[in-house]
């Protein structure tokens, strides 16, 4: 039987804090280098602008080649010979997964191979991206006509396009940062009131660690960064803080016991980690199993949500157990609070014991 009881084991987690921190820093730095200097993030149209295309085909029994036909047309097999930069992720939905959502960025290559920014103004002062959107669903020369030709007159073709301008994309990025920032500030205030400010700072640093790990691994594996990814980040922020609070709750309980008044912060933190480690591992594993199943058997949209969640769960377990409490110890030492024990209270307890 698997033994996950760590309460009686002398875990020296705090003493190895710098080793655990270096591991995290290496992953984060690798991801940031990839993000800014190598391949960059795989941004969806919500963050860089572009067109979202919904394609629905009815009256056809075999749609196995639908995704290929749409990609073929978008990537150059059309009358204008425009080559669109298609997002690699295609979301499937609807009964029989017959509704496909494609995303193309705000750039394209014309017949000469020149890259054209579709956000620029056209001759009649309309955004070029709008003209492109109208052309894509055109029933005579566009994607609709191409699919009608492939599947025949009995097929019911429905192509809908949604334009996301550069200003809309910028607004989305701004709102995403605001959402994450508000969540972090609220959590900091809550933990500072429930425990103390240094515990709150330690918890927030652990949360930022989890977010940075998610961003790093998402870039390294070139997963799409869209609103689904932002939802995954906010989900992990809420989930990860729960495990961290459990550790600090245990620290508070140990500190409150008269018999532990003379224990050092290092001893208290190690004891708290050992006392909550089995709970943290089992809780994470239980959630992780279900998320992995979703990632394996779910649709592409669910997979885009599940994979960052998996990264966040592992990062959250790592930071809650190995970083948050040790960081609290380091901060107390930095601000010279480690030896501020309630001496008068200890004397009173000893006097009461003698009496």
Which of 164, 194, 227 is the last residue before a domain boundary?
Answer: 164
Provide the token pair at 337: 């609070």
pLDDT of residue 308: 93
131 and 198 part of one domain: no
Q: Which residues of 274-304 are buried (b: 16+ CB within 10 A; e: fewer)?
A: bbbbeebeebbeebeeebeebbeeeebbebb
| Domain assignment of residue 2, yes or no | no
**222 and 346, same domain (yes or no):** yes
For 49-65, what is the mean pLDDT?
Answer: 82
**For residues 90-112, b (16+ Cβ closer than 10 Å) or e, as one string?**
bbeeeeeeebbbbbbbbbbbeee
Last residue of a domain, one of 164, 180, 200: 164
- The pLDDT score that the predictor gives to residue 1 is 40
Q: Could you tell me if 112 and 126 lie in one domain?
A: yes
Show Cβ contacts of residue 207 under 8 Å, excluding neighbours closer than 6 positions: 184, 187, 237, 240, 241, 244, 319
Q: What tokens does 345 get?
A: 């209270």
pLDDT 10s digits, 127-179: 677 778 888 888 878 888 888 888 887 888 888 888 877 777 778 788 888 88
Residue 5 lies in a domain: no
Q: Among the three residues 164, 198, 214, which one is the final residue of a domain in this structure?
A: 164
What DSSP string describes 295-341? HHHS-HHHHHHHHHHHHHHHHHHHHHHHTHHHHHHHHHHHTT-TT--
Residue 119 lies in a domain: yes
Q: Is the pLDDT of residue 348 over 60?
A: no
Alpha-carbon distance of 211 to 219, in angstroms, equals 12
Note whether 122 and 181 are same-domain residues.
no
Residue 320 sits in the same domain as residue 215: yes
- Spatial contact of 71 and 80, defined as CB atoms under 8 Å apart: no
- For residue 161, give the nearest of 138, 135, 133 by alpha carbon: 133
- As for how many domains the chain has, the answer is 2
For residues 159 and 172, state if they share a domain: no
One domain for residues 313 and 197: yes
80 & 223 share domain: no
Distance CA 281, CA 283 (A): 6
Contact 278, 6 (CB under 8 A): yes
Residue whose C-alpha is closest to residue 209's, from 231, 186, 174, 240: 240
Q: By mean pLDDT, which of 47-56, 110-119, 128-137, 170-179 is the weakest?
A: 110-119
Q: Looking at the structure, do residues 257 and 130 belong to the same domain, yes or no?
A: no
CB within 8 A of 24, min separation 6: which ones?
209, 213, 318, 319, 323
| Position 175 in a domain | yes
Examine residue 1 and state whether it is found in any structural domain, yes or no: no
User: Within a domain: residue 4?
Assistant: no
Answer yes or no: do 32 and 115 share one domain: no
- Supply the pLDDT for residue 344: 47
Higher pLDDT, 261 or 221: 221
CATH (domain of 344):
1.20.1640.10
| pLDDT digit string, tens, across residues 235-254 | 888 888 888 889 999 988 88
Query: Is there a domain that residue 190 lies in?
Result: yes
What is the pLDDT of the chain when averaged over all its residues?
81
Task: Find the domain containing 345 and state its range.
Answer: 14-42+168-354
Give yes or no: residues 255 and 175 share one domain.
yes
CA distances, 132 to each of 79, 80, 106, 161, 164 (Å): 13, 11, 10, 10, 12
Residue 325: Cβ within 10 Å count: 31
Domain annotation covers residue 8:
no
Q: State how far the Cα of 78 lies from the Cα of 346, in Å rounded to an integer.
A: 83
Residues 264 and 141 in one domain: no
For 335, residues 6+ apart whose C-beta sits below 8 A from its C-beta are 198
Question: What is the rounded CA–CA span in Å between residue 34 and residue 42?
Answer: 11
Q: Give residue 121's pLDDT band: very low, low, confident or very high (50, 70, 90).
A: low
Rounded Cα gap, residues 242 and 237, in angstroms: 9
């Amino acid at each position: 039987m698997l033994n996950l009881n760590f309460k009686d084991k002398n875990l020296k987690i705090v003493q190895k804090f710098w080793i655990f921190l270096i591991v995290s820093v290496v992953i984060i730095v690798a991801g940031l280098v990839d993000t800014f200097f190598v391949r960059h993030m795989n941004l969806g149209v919500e963050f860089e602008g572009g067109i979202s295309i919904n394609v629905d085909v009815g009256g056809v029994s075999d749609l196995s080649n639908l995704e290929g036909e749409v990609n073929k047309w978008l990537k150059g097999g059309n009358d204008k010979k425009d080559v669109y930069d298609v997002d690699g992720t295609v979301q499937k939905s609807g009964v029989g997964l017959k509704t496909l959502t494609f995303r193309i960025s705000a750039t394209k290559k014309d017949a000469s191979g020149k890259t054209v920014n579709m956000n620029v103004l056209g001759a009649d002062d309309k955004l070029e991206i709008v003209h492109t959107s109208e052309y894509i669903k055109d029933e005579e020369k566009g994607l609709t006509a191409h699919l009608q030709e492939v599947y025949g007159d009995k097929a019911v073709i429905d192509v809908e396009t949604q334009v996301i301008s550069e200003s809309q994309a910028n607004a989305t990025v701004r709102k995403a940062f605001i959402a994450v920032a508000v969540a972090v500030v609220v959590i900091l205030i809550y933990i500072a009131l429930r425990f103390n400010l240094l515990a709150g700072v330690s918890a927030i640093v652990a949360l930022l660690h989890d977010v940075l790990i998610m961003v790093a691994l998402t870039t390294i594996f070139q997963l799409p960064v869209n609103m689904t990814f932002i939802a995954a980040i906010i989900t992990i922020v809420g989930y990860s803080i729960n495990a961290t609070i459990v550790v600090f709750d245990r620290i508070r309980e140990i500190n409150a016991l008269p018999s532990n008044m003379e224990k050092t912060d290092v001893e208290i933190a190690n004891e708290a980690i050992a006392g909550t480690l089995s709970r943290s591992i089992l809780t994470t594993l239980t959630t992780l199993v279900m998320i992995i199943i979703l990632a394996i058997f779910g649709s592409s949209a669910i997979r885009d949500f599940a994979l960052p969640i998996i990264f966040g769960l592992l990062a959250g377990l790592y930071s809650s157990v190995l970083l948050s409490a040790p960081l609290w110890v380091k901060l107390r030492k930095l601000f010279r609070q480690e030896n501020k024990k309630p001496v008068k209270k200890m004397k009173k307890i000893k006097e009461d014991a003698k009496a």
